[in-house]
Every structure is written in C-alpha cells, then in structure tokens.
Chains A and B, each alone.
Chain A
C-alpha cells in the first residue's frame, strides 16, 4: 500500500460507511476540504452540515444529533476541536452524547502553517475527561478499521488524524481492536511505545538500533485511552526500559499516560519523546529532526537513555 494520510483514509472510508448506514452524518466548521469530509458532503449532501467557522456550535450541534439517534462525526483541526474544551466537557463528555470528535492536522508534522494550527495538547485535554476514549491510527488500514469501529461504538470518542502521509506499518491481515496495543516488532532491550505518525519512524529507529546491537520492541498504541495496560506492562516488564514517542506535547499525552501507569503499577525508567514548548513554521522533516522524532533522533535518544 502506498503512504496515505490518516485524514484521507478517514474521508474515503466514511463515504463507504455512509452508504451502509444512513445514520452517519458529518458536521464541519469550514474545513471539510482539509478534514476530508468534503467527499462525504458531496455524496450525501442531506447528511452533511457545515456550520461555518463556529467550532463550539459545531460540537454542540453534534451532541444534539447524537442524542437524537444520529452518528455525527464533528471534524476540524485537532487544536480547534479540543480548543472548545468546555463544550466537549459538558455537552459531550458529561452528557455522554455519542459524538465522534475528529481532530486532524495533529502535531508539528503539519509544518509551514506553524503553531496555531498544530494539535499539540489535544490528547492531554481529552485524557482528563471521563467517557471519551482516544484513538490515533498509525496508517491507512488501521484508520479504516478505527473509523468503522467509531460508527459502532455506543459512546463518544476522539479520533486523532494526521495531515501528512503515513507509511504503512500493518499488512492486510491486521485487525484493529479497540483498547489493544499491537507489538509490531519484538525486542528485549527497550520498549518503544509509539502512536500515530511516529510509529513508522520508531520502526525505522529500531532497525538502526539493531545495527548497534540494541533490540528494541516497538508497540503501536492506537488506543491511547484506555491504555492497553496488559500489553504495555508485559513489554515493560520484559525490557525494563520504556521510551514513548508521539507528535504531541511531552506533557499529558501518551508519554504522560504511560508514565502514570508504570509509576503506579510497575516503576520503570521512562523517556518521553515528543514536542517541548510551542511548535513553529518549517518543513515537516526539519521539525521532526529538531524535536528528535525522526528515525535518527529516536535512535539517538534511545541509545542515550540506555547508556545513562
């Protein structure tokens, strides 16, 4: 499979699912061309609602649609979706309205648009709310299955999608399971727990590490909340060293979730890789190098961590 952005896979599969389930609707706030729901809107115009640049209203509308039996996908850039935290907090989480919140354009990987358009704190925010699981698929095949799961899931959830193309990390036999992390590469020296766009980079880093005799286990954590405690504890128990990798703030994201789990259940040294401070404009590759999220950067951080 060629590389594909998870937002693109989402837009495609939503059109397919829309043919089977007429309860699926989309709600957008003038970014449907970017969130890739424009194709759904073109195919099913009576089931697609663009409320203008009004994300709070968009999320509230989606909550009402969900409470009246529809399956609404409320879509915008992750920072704009989660920026309307108070509406999510009360109208979605506390109300338990089964809205499918979709945040695209996550992380510094969006590049040139700079910090204001980068979803960098969304996992941290949504993690703090009861009732809303978080799913971040790592490639096209996982995205397609995660979206299908979202339509079946009887409750709200948050789907975190990339603007940039993602190299496939799964083959056609892969089956996404909600709440399950999948071990993509077995290893014994260190566990690299990665999510979303950094999963492939972590696999590449593991190959480099293998050249210097370090056997890294790479685990794809697609369901960030709730964490697959069993798989993660098993891996951490085996390797005794954990590195988390994500295109998100180092505070409160996957790294925070893993550190909380291990700190309470099985104290294990943890190194969190992610974004410190604000993002900035630049090319995506350069930004990944700057934040150490490219394969070389990840490999170097792992080496440094193991040699300390």
Chain B
C-alpha cells in the first residue's frame, strides 16, 4: 500500500516477537525459530494488506491466509489477537487442554483460521483451490499462502507449483493468489542445504511459470512493495521468495537449528524479551517479564 506506516508496523512486529516468546514459554513447547522468522511477513499482511473483519470471520469478501507452515502459528495467533479476533489472555492457553489455540492451526476450533495445517505440504494446494473458488464465485478477495522452505521438499507442493500458474485458464487465472516463502534456511534436523537443498529455488519457480519476487523478509518496506507488485500482476499468481533468519530478533536463537522446535526456559525468555524490546523496557513488557519470572519460581 502507498506509504506504509513503517514505524507502526515495526512496533507491532516487535510486540509480536515478545508475545511469541511469552506464549511458547508458558506453553512449555512449540516452534520459536520459524515463528520469529515469519512474524514480519504476517505483520505486513495483517496490518497493512489484508481486508478482513474479526467480528465476522466467515465474511465472504474477506482476504484469506493459509499458513501452510502450521507449526509457526504462534506468530499468527499474535496477529489475530492484535487484530481483535480474540482476547489477548487466550494467548496463554496455547497448547493447553481445551484451548482453541491448538499447537497447529485448527479451523474448526478457532474462527479466522482458514484451513488446518501442520502436516506440511498441503497449504499451497488448498490456497490454490480457495483462489480458484473465489474467482469462480466472482469475488475479488485475495488469498495469501505462506510456505516454509523445508516444507517445499514435500511432493504435494510441487504438484501445486506445476498447476498453480495454469489453473483457471482462460478466464479465471489465479492472479488473486500470492505465495510467500519464509526462506529461513533451517528445518527440524539441520540446515535445509544440508538435508535437501532447494537452490536454485528462484530458477526452479520461474521454470514452473511463476513470476518470482526475491526480497529480504525482514524489511517491512520490501515486503509491502512485493505485495503491491503481486497485487498488480494480472493473469498469474505470484511467488515471493522472502529471505529470512530463523529466530530473528533473539541473537542466541538466530540461525541455529536447535531453536526450531523447543520453547525457551523462563530465564532464556526474559533474556530474549529484553533483547527484543531493548532498554528501557516498555511499561507493557514489565508485567510480561514478571509473569514469566513467576513461572520460573513455581
């Protein structure tokens, strides 16, 4: 969008990083690395791009987002609470018995989640179907799909990469679909390039017929500009390859496969939050830290 309020978005993303650490610490499990790498992308989508109404989560004309890398849903839960889908207090129920905030997204449990994901590789197919269905229904809504880079090793992703640019021809091309790769370079076991390298991923995508935009996935202005470009692209869906850093914002988590899927201990969480917000610690963060310290004492 023209002239995004970058300072506002940056503040939201920073708050998101604090809330991700907070949620995971209270849950005692989860995936901090990928949640921290995707939060800037989700912040721009939720707070400077998508049209939606948190009071009417099934509103027909809403834009859709499918977080195919479902294990990073804490980042989305933050955006949803910030947007007004549910009260912030619910964040502390993440992964707990009876909570709509499931460890991986559950469409039936939490209004605003568009599809269950977490079994990797499925979200792109579903997003293609949504985009196609909206086109057939004469809707102008857009669909966003966020993939992880390790996830792209799944065969089903390539099935949809093959068909995506061709689907709906000649009258219903999926130019309402934008796919974003959170390319943090790390998967559960190790670095992506050590497990099964995707490179040259941009060349591969182009060969499959996707217009590709290559960006720094932590530069809010670049993210926003790429989304502009995607929206302006007619006759084809767009693929944004966002280069990100796993664990971004917490130096001891950054670029370390160990932080793919473990929650910080309370002392680590406090250290992480202090680093994210920097000195002086803002007033709203002080009770968050106290609350985590209280967990440690228990």
Q: Which A residues form the contact surface with B (CB < 8 A)?
A: 25, 46-47, 49, 51-52, 54, 56-70, 72, 86-87, 89-91, 94-97
CA distance A52 to B115 in the complex (A): 24
Interface centre among B116, B119, B137 (most CB of A within 10 A): B116
Q: Are B129 and A66 in contact, CB atoms less than 8 angstroms apart?
A: yes
Q: Which residues of A contact B134 (CB under 8 A)?
A: 68
A186 to B116 Cα, complex, angstroms: 46
8 Å CB interface, B153-167 against A: 155-156, 159-160, 162-163, 167
Q: How far is the CA of A187 from the CA of B136 in the complex (A)?
A: 52
| Known contacts A54-B163, A64-B132, A94-B116; A59/B108 CB under 8 A | no
In angstroms, how far is the closest chain B Cβ from the Cβ of A294?
40
A57–B172 alpha-carbon span in the complex (Å)? 18
Query: For chain B, which range describes its interface: under 10, 10 to 19, 20 to 34, or 35 or more residues?
Result: 35 or more
B130 touches A56 (CB 8 A): no
Contact A69 to B116, CB < 8 A, known contacts A52-B163, A60-B129, A87-B156:
no
Encoded as 1 (CB less than 8 Å from any A CB) or 0, chain B from 105 to 118 comes to 01110000011111
Please indicate the chain B residues that have their CB under 8 angstroms from the CB of A67 in the complex. Answer: 114-115, 126, 129-130, 133
* Beyond A49-B167, A67-B126, 19 additional pairs, beta carbon < 8 A: A47-B136, A54-B156, A56-B121, A56-B155, A56-B156, A56-B159, A61-B125, A61-B129, A61-B132, A62-B129, A64-B128, A64-B133, A65-B129, A67-B130, A68-B130, A70-B136, A87-B156, A94-B107, A96-B107
A162–B132 CA distance with the chains assembled, in angstroms: 30
Top 5 closest A-B pairs, CB basis? A64-B129, A60-B125, A68-B133, A57-B159, A54-B159
Task: Report if B223 contacts A (CB, 8 A).
Answer: no
In angstroms, Cα B156 to Cα A86, docked, is 11
A68 x B137 contact (CB < 8 A): yes
Assuming the contacts A25-B136, A68-B129, asked whether A91 and B163 have C-beta atoms less than 8 A apart, the reply is: no
Question: Are A91 and B125 CB-contacts (below 8 A) given A68-B132, A96-B108?
Answer: yes
Q: Which residues of B in the span 77-135 have a Cβ within 8 Å of any Cβ on A?
A: 106-108, 114-119, 121-134
